[in-house]
């Protein structure tokens, strides 16, 4: 895909990100990330009828309090962040514009009542809110895994958001929209992916300062091969920290780089 896209389209994408951002640093981030969201140009003129989709498949939920449950994954294309540990970098650019009705039909075709909308960054998709609302209306339980850089209230109330808080080790700490901490609903969860002991201490101090555990489920996850689960379990226990150790179950069941599982 070439780099040529209309100024109008870029302005719409950046304005969308800006509307969902609350700080100057995020606005700066959005502007700096123009190249990152360039694949969105594939939706040009079709923002109200299509979604940019990387893959839709059925598997086992690997993370959060829903780990172990059969789940359908709707993975969207493109992300405005570049976390150091990202294991779905293929979703930055790979994918195609799929008409909305086909997305809805495929997601609901597996006979599985739990559906996660993920990415990439799903909140960049203009139709994500409609998709979530339509799935809820059809009786599905809907999860949305999001980076924490965009306003989660874009999603309907019934959606269970798994909201990342980016640590210094992620390289994307400046992208955090901390306003999301006030927007969390009781069924939402927050997730920290930890790259080191320093990341752990940063996250621990934030949890305590914000009393996050009193408002929501807090997940502490290891950046794969960077923090050992046994070490993280020990740190949590030593600090008597009221958080939940979150392992990426799918990476223990299947080869860590295997896709579509
Ligand atoms: S927010 Fe998620 S998809 Fe985007 S770069 Fe970070 S880990 Fe990857």
pLDDT tens digits, one per residue of 2-45: 344 555 555 555 555 555 554 545 554 554 578 899 999 999 99
What is the structure's pLDDT at 254? 81
Tell which one of 79, 148, 164, 170 to mutate to probe ligand 1, the residue whose CB is within 8 A of the most ligand atoms: 79
SS3 116: strand
Please give the mean pLDDT across all residues of the chain.
90
Tell me if the bond preceding 120 is cis, omega within 30° of 0: yes
Mutate to test the pocket of ligand 1, among 86, 149, 165 (most ligand atoms within 8 A of CB): 86
**Confidence at residue 18, expressed as pLDDT on a 0 to 100 scale:** 52
What's the gap in Å between 5 CA and the centre of ligand 1?
24
Eight-class DSSP state of 19: H
Q: Which atom of ligand 1 is nearest to the CA of 147?
A: 1
Of the pLDDT bands very low, low, confident and very high (cuts 50, 70, 90), residue 1 is: very low
165 CA to centre of ligand 1 in angstroms? 11
- Give the atom of ligand 1 at the shortest distance from the alpha carbon of 145: 2
Pairwise CA distance, residues 229 & 142, whole Å: 28
Q: Are 103 and 76 spatial neighbours (Cβ–Cβ below 8 Å)?
A: no
Ligand 1 centroid, distance to 193 Cα (angstroms): 11
In percent, the amount of the chain with pLDDT more than 70 equals 88
Find the angle CA(28)-CA(221)-CA(62) to the nearest 5 degrees.
Answer: 105
Residues contacting residue 9 through CB under 8 Å, at least 6 positions apart: 40, 41, 44
- The protein residue whose alpha carbon is closest to atom 3 in ligand 1 is 120
The whole-number average pLDDT for the span 184-207 is: 97
State yes or no: pLDDT of 124 exceeds 50: yes
Q: From the CA of 121, how far away is ligand 1's center (Å)?
A: 7
- Tell me, what's the pLDDT at 13? 59
* Probe target for ligand 1 pocket from 83, 169, 177, with the most ligand atoms within 8 Å of CB: 83
Architecture of domain 7-253: Alpha-Beta Barrel (3.20)
**Does residue 79 have its Cβ closer than 6 Å to ligand 1?**
yes
Distances (CA, A) of 120 to 4, 6, 238: 22, 23, 35
Query: In which order are the strands placed within the sheet that holds 96-99?
Result: 96-99, 50-60, 70-76, 114-118, 141-146, 160-164, 189-194, 217-222, 244-246
Q: What share of the chain is helix, strand, coil (3-state, %, to 5)?
A: 35, 20, 45
Distance, CA 196 to ligand 1 centroid (Å)?
18
The kind and range of the H/E element at 198 are: helix 197-210
Residue 87 C-alpha to ligand 1 middle, in angstroms? 8
Residue 220's DSSP bridge partners are 192, 245
């Amino acid at each position: 895909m070439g780099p040529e896209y209309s100024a109008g389209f870029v302005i719409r994408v950046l304005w969308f990100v800006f509307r969902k951002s609350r700080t100057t640093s995020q606005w700066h981030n959005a502007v700096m990330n123009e190249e990152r969201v360039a694949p969105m140009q594939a939706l040009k003129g079709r923002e109200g009828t299509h979604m940019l989709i990387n893959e839709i498949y059925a598997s086992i939920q690997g993370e959060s309090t829903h780990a172990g449950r059969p789940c359908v994954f709707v993975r969207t294309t493109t992300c405005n962040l570049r976390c150091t540990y990202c294991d779905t970098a293929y979703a930055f650019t790979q994918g195609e514009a799929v008409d909305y009705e086909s997305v809805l039909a495929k997601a609901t075709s597996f006979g599985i009542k739990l559906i996660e909308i993920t990415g990439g960054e799903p909140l960049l998709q203009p139709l994500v809110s409609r998709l979530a609302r339509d799935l809820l209306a059809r009786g599905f339980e809907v999860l949305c895994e999001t980076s924490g850089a965009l306003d989660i209230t874009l999603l309907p109330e019934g959606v269970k958001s798994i909201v990342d808080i980016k640590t210094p080790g992620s390289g994307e700490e400046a992208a955090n929209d901390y306003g999301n901490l006030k927007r969390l609903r009781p069924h939402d969860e927050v997730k920290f992916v930890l790259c080191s002991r320093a990341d752990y201490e940063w996250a621990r101090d934030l949890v305590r300062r914000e009393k996050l555990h009193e408002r929501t489920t807090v997940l502490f996850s290891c950046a794969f091969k960077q923090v050992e689960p046994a070490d993280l379990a020990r740190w949590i226990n030593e600090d008597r920290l009221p958080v939940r150790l979150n392992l990426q179950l799918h990476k223990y069941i299947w080869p860590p780089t295997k896709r579509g599982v």
